[in-house]
Amino acid sequence: MNRYAESKIIKNANGKQRRSTIILPNIQLSPNDTYIQTTTIERLDLLAFDLYNDVTLWWVIAAANGLGKGSLIVPQNTLLRIPDVSDIEAQIQKVNTSR
């Protein structure tokens, strides 16, 4: 999943390009979510790779669990909600196409 897929390319008066801001949705509860308990100190990016096969999806786990503000570290014995990534893709598309 590319979280920039829905962003538009904007040109300024000088022709310089940038991507529009992406609004990330609040990660809604879903019956497809799973839960895991960390037994050691973990990193969000490595968990994302293990669970989604994509390190760039660390923000999905962080947003769902209120983590990642200044650190990718997940403390030992933390119960984590792991959202189904297909649900997140649909939420991102819905939020960004409606604005």
What does the pLDDT read at residue 7? 65
Number of domains, the chain: 1
Q: Is residue 27 part of a domain?
A: yes
Q: Is residue 33 part of a domain?
A: yes
The residue range of the domain holding 32 is 9-97
Q: Can you give the pTM of this predicted structure?
A: 0.69
- The predicted-structure confidence for 19-45, as pLDDT tens digits, reads as follows 776 666 677 788 889 999 999 999 999
What does the pLDDT read at residue 80? 96
- The helices-and-strands tally (H runs, E runs) of the chain is 3, 6
Q: Is residue 91 part of a domain?
A: yes
At which residue do the structure tokens 């490595």 appear? 46
Low-confidence ranges of the chain (pLDDT < 70): 1-7, 21-25, 91-99
What does the pLDDT read at residue 38? 96
DSSP the chain: --TTTTPPEEE-TT--EEEPPPPPPP----TT-EEEE-SS-EEHHHHHHHHHS-GGGHHHHHHHHT--SS--EE-TT-EEEE--HHHHHHHHHHHHH--
